Amino acid sequence: METLQQPVGVVTGGGGAIGKRICAALAREGFGVVVVDLSSEAVRGVAEGLSGEGHAGIAASVTDSAAVKALASEICAHYGRCDLLVNCAGTTRFVPHNDLDSLDDNLIDLILATNVRGPVAMVRALRPLLDKSTQPGGAVVVNITSIAASTAMGSNIMYCASKAALENITKSLARALAPRIRVVSVAPGLADTDFIKSMDQRWRDEQLERTPLKRLAAPDDIAAAIIAIVKHLKYTTGTVIAVDGGRPLS
């Protein structure tokens, strides 16, 4: 599994609909991909299905700092460095914004632990390996956020707040980790995952109508933005790249 010549990318939430497509895109670009998610079976399946060589699936929760530290040690032992970290792991639950009683403390804590503390824990644990990157333009951290960070419209109030916090963290980390590590947010609009496809068709049609490009964000659109950041936007750090079809314009 040791891959000294190829770049190494770590993707949290790699077993999800968006994470899988990010992993696949990185593999096509020649990365050795470390797929990270909660399920050993899920990460192993994704890793085994990727093109090329040098991939691994490691089960770990980003909310468990001890597990994250162990993950970093395992990556160090097998690869010796990290060129790209994609913080894609996240969680939410639909709660109407005016229903504050249903936004209970347990849900708030889970969202903040996963969507905010988790990415920071990953960067903290992998920073020594990111510092070792020899990739042109330096190592890159990509935080998957959401247009909910700026529109304050999303699955619930705390989800919106968590993504806004992560975009702020992106800017702080970009300043703190420069020049060796770049940090960028990718903010999708509503992504056309199986979960969204299972929802009421009338609601989905309304979202399409409100989006200038008349389609939802595909997971491959998000993956393509990450490839562009790594390969082409080498003078970009501390900013948010929207992949939203112009949705905030409507």
CATH of the domain at 105: 3.40.50.720
Does residue 203 form part of some domain?
Answer: yes
Output the CA–CA distances (angstroms, integers) from residue 78 to 4, 34, 55, 75, 93, in the order listed: 9, 10, 10, 5, 36
Q: Token pair of 216, please?
A: 């939802």
Beta bridge partners of 10: 34, 85
Does residue 179 form part of some domain?
Answer: yes
Task: Quote the pLDDT of residue 1.
Answer: 43
Number of domains in the chain: 1
- SS3 of residue 169 by DSSP: helix
Is 235 a catalytic site residue? no
Does residue 2 form part of some domain?
Answer: no
Tell me whether the omega of the peptide bond preceding residue 179 falls within 30 degrees of 0, making it cis: yes
Residue 32, domain extent:
8-249
Residue pLDDT, tens place only, 99-155: 999 999 999 999 999 999 999 999 999 999 999 999 999 999 999 999 999 999 999
Does residue 3 form part of some domain?
Answer: no
Percent of the chain clearing pLDDT 90 (strictly above): 87
Stated pTM of the model: 0.95
From 22, 31, 120, 159, active-site residue: 159
Task: Quote the pLDDT of residue 207.
Answer: 86
pLDDT-derived band at 32, boundaries 50, 70, 90: very high
Mean pLDDT of 89-100: 96
Residue 2 has pLDDT above 50, yes or no: no
Does residue 143 form part of some domain?
Answer: yes
Does residue 1 form part of some domain?
Answer: no
Does residue 176 form part of some domain?
Answer: yes
Does residue 72 form part of some domain?
Answer: yes
